[in-house]
Amino acid sequence: MSKKQGNEKPSRLMRVVYPLTLALIAAGCVYALMPGFRELEDVRAQMANLRQTLTAKSLANEALSKEIESMDTAEGVERAARRYLRWARPDEVLVLFEPPSGETTTEFRLGERRP
């Protein structure tokens, strides 16, 4: 009787070589893709930071828009002149305090909010 070719058992060498070959191919693929995964994580972190910055800038922009709207009146213009330009009416006295030496100044520029 002749043996059928489909029923032959793989040799012991082949039972070791096939899994080893597959393991090496898988390891090579993982090694080749690792830099891409690291770069993807870096890009995701950058996107999260940019979203956070966008949110903060949007809130600041909204606050500035409200401040601009408040300056559409005579009272708003006067308030801005007093706050940012340190203007006073002729009958008023403007008192400015110097910060102690070594401390930062408390001056505010146009668009900044007071704490």
At 35 the pLDDT is 84
Q: Is the dihedral of CA 38, 43, 46, 47 positive or negative?
A: negative
Structure confidence at residue 4 as a pLDDT band (50, 70, 90): low
| Contact yes or no for 44/37 (Cβ under 8 A) | no
Q: What is the DSSP letter of 6?
A: G
The 10s digit of each residue's pLDDT in 69-112 is 888 888 888 888 888 888 888 898 888 777 777 666 555 555 55
The 10s digit of each residue's pLDDT in 45-61 is 999 999 999 999 999 99
Going from N- to C-terminal start, the domains of the chain cover 11-84
| Contact yes or no for 92/42 (Cβ under 8 A) | no
The 10s digit of each residue's pLDDT in 58-80 is 999 999 998 888 888 888 888 88
Q: Is the pTM here over 0.85, yes or no?
A: no
